[in-house]
Protein backbone atom coordinates (compact mmCIF):
# COMPACT_ATOMS: atom_id res chain seq x y z
CA UNK A 1 0.00 0.00 0.00
CA UNK A 2 2.77 2.44 0.92
CA UNK A 3 4.47 1.80 -2.43
CA UNK A 4 1.21 2.45 -4.29
CA UNK A 5 0.68 5.73 -2.41
CA UNK A 6 4.25 6.84 -3.06
CA UNK A 7 3.87 6.12 -6.78
CA UNK A 8 0.61 8.05 -6.88
CA UNK A 9 2.14 11.04 -5.13
CA UNK A 10 5.17 10.88 -7.41
CA UNK A 11 2.96 10.83 -10.48
CA UNK A 12 0.88 13.78 -9.29
CA UNK A 13 4.00 15.79 -8.56
CA UNK A 14 5.36 15.00 -12.03
CA UNK A 15 2.00 15.83 -13.66
CA UNK A 16 1.88 19.23 -11.97
CA UNK A 17 5.30 19.94 -13.42
CA UNK A 18 4.05 19.10 -16.91
CA UNK A 19 0.91 21.18 -16.45
CA UNK A 20 3.05 24.16 -15.47
CA UNK A 21 5.65 23.64 -18.20
CA UNK A 22 7.37 26.87 -19.24
CA UNK A 23 9.87 27.62 -22.01
CA UNK A 24 12.57 25.54 -20.30
CA UNK A 25 10.66 22.40 -21.24
CA UNK A 26 11.01 23.37 -24.92
CA UNK A 27 14.80 23.73 -24.75
CA UNK A 28 15.54 20.74 -26.99
CA UNK A 29 12.78 21.18 -29.57
CA UNK A 30 15.13 22.13 -32.41
CA UNK A 31 17.57 19.34 -31.60
CA UNK A 32 14.80 16.74 -31.41
CA UNK A 33 13.29 17.90 -34.72
CA UNK A 34 16.68 17.70 -36.45
CA UNK A 35 17.58 14.30 -35.03
CA UNK A 36 14.19 12.74 -35.74
CA UNK A 37 14.25 14.22 -39.25
CA UNK A 38 17.64 12.61 -39.92
CA UNK A 39 16.47 9.20 -38.73
CA UNK A 40 13.19 9.49 -40.64
CA UNK A 41 15.01 10.32 -43.87
CA UNK A 42 17.54 7.52 -43.46
CA UNK A 43 15.09 4.79 -42.45
CA UNK A 44 12.41 5.92 -44.89
CA UNK A 45 14.90 5.31 -47.70
CA UNK A 46 16.65 2.21 -46.41
CA UNK A 47 13.90 0.11 -44.78
CA UNK A 48 10.44 -1.12 -45.80
CA UNK A 49 7.15 0.12 -44.33
CA UNK A 50 8.75 2.66 -42.02
CA UNK A 51 6.40 4.74 -39.86
CA UNK A 52 7.61 8.33 -39.63
CA UNK A 53 8.55 8.99 -36.00
CA UNK A 54 6.73 11.97 -34.48
CA UNK A 55 9.29 14.30 -32.90
CA UNK A 56 6.70 15.27 -30.29
CA UNK A 57 6.71 11.71 -28.97
CA UNK A 58 10.46 11.96 -28.41
CA UNK A 59 9.92 15.30 -26.67
CA UNK A 60 7.39 13.59 -24.41
CA UNK A 61 10.00 10.92 -23.65
CA UNK A 62 12.40 13.61 -22.45
CA UNK A 63 9.69 15.00 -20.19
CA UNK A 64 9.22 11.56 -18.67
CA UNK A 65 12.89 10.60 -18.49
CA UNK A 66 14.13 13.82 -16.90
CA UNK A 67 12.67 17.33 -17.36
CA UNK A 68 14.30 20.71 -16.61
CA UNK A 69 13.99 20.21 -12.87
CA UNK A 70 16.37 17.25 -13.02
CA UNK A 71 20.15 17.73 -13.16
CA UNK A 72 20.55 15.13 -15.94
CA UNK A 73 18.39 17.32 -18.22
CA UNK A 74 21.55 19.25 -19.15
CA UNK A 75 23.64 16.20 -20.04
CA UNK A 76 21.58 13.00 -20.44
CA UNK A 77 17.98 14.08 -21.07
CA UNK A 78 17.03 10.61 -22.38
CA UNK A 79 19.09 8.85 -19.68
CA UNK A 80 20.76 6.44 -22.10
CA UNK A 81 24.38 6.03 -21.06
CA UNK A 82 23.46 6.26 -17.40
CA UNK A 83 25.97 3.57 -16.46
CA UNK A 84 29.55 2.87 -17.49
CA UNK A 85 28.46 -0.41 -19.09
CA UNK A 86 25.05 0.84 -20.17
CA UNK A 87 23.10 -2.02 -21.80
CA UNK A 88 21.31 0.37 -24.16
CA UNK A 89 24.55 1.75 -25.58
CA UNK A 90 26.07 -1.72 -25.74
CA UNK A 91 23.08 -2.92 -27.75
CA UNK A 92 23.10 0.09 -30.10
CA UNK A 93 26.81 0.02 -30.88
CA UNK A 94 27.57 -3.68 -30.41
CA UNK A 95 26.74 -4.78 -33.99
CA UNK A 96 24.79 -7.74 -32.65
CA UNK A 97 21.27 -6.33 -32.40
CA UNK A 98 21.00 -4.31 -35.61
CA UNK A 99 22.03 -0.85 -34.44
CA UNK A 100 24.28 -0.40 -37.48
CA UNK A 101 21.18 -0.62 -39.69
CA UNK A 102 19.39 2.09 -37.72
CA UNK A 103 22.11 4.73 -37.33
CA UNK A 104 22.39 7.03 -40.37
CA UNK A 105 26.16 6.43 -40.39
CA UNK A 106 28.82 4.71 -38.31
CA UNK A 107 29.98 8.08 -36.96
CA UNK A 108 26.52 9.62 -36.49
CA UNK A 109 26.67 9.40 -32.69
CA UNK A 110 29.79 10.36 -30.73
CA UNK A 111 30.02 7.48 -28.28
CA UNK A 112 32.44 9.39 -26.06
CA UNK A 113 30.00 12.31 -25.71
CA UNK A 114 26.73 10.44 -25.11
CA UNK A 115 27.01 10.84 -21.34
CA UNK A 116 27.82 14.56 -21.37
CA UNK A 117 26.38 16.14 -24.52
CA UNK A 118 22.56 16.37 -24.68
CA UNK A 119 22.45 16.33 -28.51
CA UNK A 120 24.50 13.13 -28.65
CA UNK A 121 22.39 11.64 -25.85
CA UNK A 122 19.22 12.35 -27.82
CA UNK A 123 20.75 10.85 -30.98
CA UNK A 124 21.64 7.69 -29.07
CA UNK A 125 18.29 7.52 -27.29
CA UNK A 126 16.31 7.86 -30.51
CA UNK A 127 18.56 5.30 -32.20
CA UNK A 128 18.03 2.81 -29.40
CA UNK A 129 14.27 3.39 -29.48
CA UNK A 130 14.10 2.79 -33.23
CA UNK A 131 16.29 -0.30 -32.97
CA UNK A 132 13.80 -1.76 -30.52
CA UNK A 133 10.87 -0.83 -32.76
CA UNK A 134 12.38 -2.50 -35.84
CA UNK A 135 11.65 -6.07 -36.91
CA UNK A 136 14.78 -7.94 -38.00
CA UNK A 137 15.42 -11.14 -39.93
CA UNK A 138 18.46 -12.81 -41.46
CA UNK A 139 18.10 -12.95 -45.23
CA UNK A 140 20.17 -13.48 -48.36
CA UNK A 141 21.37 -10.14 -49.68
CA UNK A 142 22.83 -9.91 -53.18
CA UNK A 143 26.07 -7.95 -53.60
CA UNK A 144 26.18 -4.87 -55.81
CA UNK A 145 28.10 -6.99 -58.30
CA UNK A 146 25.23 -8.32 -60.44
CA UNK A 147 27.42 -10.54 -62.64
CA UNK A 148 26.38 -14.20 -62.88
CA UNK A 149 29.38 -16.47 -62.32
CA UNK A 150 29.94 -20.17 -62.96
CA UNK A 151 31.61 -22.80 -60.82
CA UNK A 152 32.49 -26.40 -61.62
CA UNK A 153 31.49 -28.92 -58.97
CA UNK A 154 34.42 -30.89 -57.58
CA UNK A 155 34.51 -34.30 -55.88
CA UNK A 156 32.78 -34.20 -52.49
CA UNK A 157 31.37 -30.71 -53.01
CA UNK A 158 28.09 -29.63 -51.42
CA UNK A 159 26.04 -26.50 -51.95
CA UNK A 160 27.12 -25.22 -48.54
CA UNK A 161 30.80 -25.81 -49.30
CA UNK A 162 30.54 -24.11 -52.69
CA UNK A 163 28.63 -21.16 -51.22
CA UNK A 164 31.31 -20.54 -48.59
CA UNK A 165 34.13 -20.88 -51.11
CA UNK A 166 32.57 -18.55 -53.69
CA UNK A 167 31.06 -15.86 -51.46
CA UNK A 168 27.42 -16.66 -52.06
CA UNK A 169 24.60 -18.50 -50.29
CA UNK A 170 22.86 -21.83 -50.68
CA UNK A 171 19.64 -19.97 -51.44
CA UNK A 172 21.22 -18.19 -54.42
CA UNK A 173 22.71 -21.43 -55.74
CA UNK A 174 19.32 -23.12 -55.58
CA UNK A 175 17.63 -20.17 -57.29
CA UNK A 176 20.07 -20.18 -60.22
CA UNK A 177 20.14 -23.98 -60.53
CA UNK A 178 16.60 -25.15 -59.73
CA UNK A 179 16.92 -28.49 -61.57
CA UNK A 180 20.25 -29.56 -60.08
CA UNK A 181 19.19 -31.27 -56.87
CA UNK A 182 21.98 -33.88 -56.88
CA UNK A 183 25.51 -32.58 -57.41
CA UNK A 184 27.93 -34.41 -59.68
CA UNK A 185 31.63 -33.78 -60.18
CA UNK A 186 32.13 -31.75 -63.35
CA UNK A 187 28.69 -30.16 -63.19
CA UNK A 188 28.63 -26.39 -63.85
CA UNK A 189 26.53 -24.21 -61.55
CA UNK A 190 25.61 -20.56 -61.89
CA UNK A 191 25.64 -18.11 -58.97
CA UNK A 192 25.81 -14.48 -57.93
CA UNK A 193 27.80 -13.00 -55.10
CA UNK A 194 25.67 -12.77 -51.96
CA UNK A 195 25.76 -13.02 -48.18
CA UNK A 196 23.44 -13.86 -45.30
CA UNK A 197 22.78 -10.68 -43.33
CA UNK A 198 20.50 -9.19 -40.73
CA UNK A 199 18.02 -6.81 -42.37
CA UNK A 200 15.08 -4.70 -41.26
CA UNK A 201 11.89 -6.31 -42.57
CA UNK A 202 9.32 -3.97 -41.04
CA UNK A 203 8.33 -1.90 -38.05
CA UNK A 204 6.19 -2.03 -34.95
CA UNK A 205 3.64 0.78 -34.68
CA UNK A 206 5.31 3.60 -32.77
CA UNK A 207 2.99 4.96 -30.09
CA UNK A 208 3.23 5.62 -26.32
CA UNK A 209 2.22 2.05 -25.45
CA UNK A 210 4.93 0.47 -27.61
CA UNK A 211 7.55 3.03 -26.60
CA UNK A 212 6.88 2.41 -22.92
CA UNK A 213 7.30 -1.32 -23.43
CA UNK A 214 10.37 -1.35 -25.65
CA UNK A 215 12.29 1.71 -24.38
CA UNK A 216 11.44 1.72 -20.68
CA UNK A 217 11.84 -2.02 -20.35
CA UNK A 218 9.76 -2.28 -17.20
CA UNK A 219 11.71 0.29 -15.21
CA UNK A 220 8.98 2.75 -14.25
CA UNK A 221 5.53 1.12 -13.87
CA UNK A 222 3.93 4.51 -14.59
CA UNK A 223 6.02 5.19 -17.70
CA UNK A 224 3.22 4.49 -20.18
CA UNK A 225 0.75 6.67 -18.26
CA UNK A 226 3.25 9.52 -18.02
CA UNK A 227 4.26 9.27 -21.66
CA UNK A 228 0.66 9.33 -22.88
CA UNK A 229 -0.08 12.34 -20.68
CA UNK A 230 3.01 14.27 -21.79
CA UNK A 231 2.44 13.46 -25.47
CA UNK A 232 -1.16 14.64 -25.24
CA UNK A 233 -0.11 17.83 -23.43
CA UNK A 234 2.52 18.64 -26.05
CA UNK A 235 0.08 18.14 -28.92
CA UNK A 236 -2.60 20.21 -27.19
CA UNK A 237 -0.06 23.01 -26.75
CA UNK A 238 0.13 23.18 -30.54
CA UNK A 239 3.67 21.94 -31.12
CA UNK A 240 4.17 21.24 -34.82
What are the pLDDT digits (tens) for 173-197?
A: 999 999 877 899 999 999 999 999 9
Higher pLDDT, 216 or 229: 229
Number of Cβ within 10 Å of residue 219's Cβ equals 9
What's the whole-number average pLDDT of the chain? 92
pTM value surpassing 0.95: no
Residue 55: CB atoms within 10 A of its CB come to 23
pLDDT tens figures, 122-150 = 999 999 999 999 999 999 999 999 999 99
H/E run at residue 138: strand 134-142
Q: For residue 146, give every residue at least 6 positions away whose Cβ sits within 8 Å of its Cβ, in sequence order, or none.
A: 192
Say if residue 152's pLDDT is above 70.
yes
For residues 77 and 79, give the distance between their C-alpha atoms in angstroms, rounded to a whole number.
6
| Residue of 101, 82, 52, 109 lying closest to 216 (CA atoms) | 82
Residue 117 pLDDT > 60, yes or no? yes
What is the mean pLDDT of the segment spanning 90-98?
Answer: 91
DSSP 112: G
Distance of CA 1 to the CA centre of its chain: 37
Report the pLDDT value the prediction gives residue 180, as an integer from 0 to 100.
78
Nearest to residue 91, comparing CAs of 107, 111, 75? 111
Average pLDDT over residues 4-26: 84
Amino acid sequence: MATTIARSEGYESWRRGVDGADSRWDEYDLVIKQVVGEYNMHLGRSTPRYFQLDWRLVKAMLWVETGPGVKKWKTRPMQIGEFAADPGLSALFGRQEGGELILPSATYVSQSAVRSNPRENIKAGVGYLLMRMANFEFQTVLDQDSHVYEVTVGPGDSLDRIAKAKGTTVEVLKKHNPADHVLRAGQVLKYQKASFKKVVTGWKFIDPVQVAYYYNGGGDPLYRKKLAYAYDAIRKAGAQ
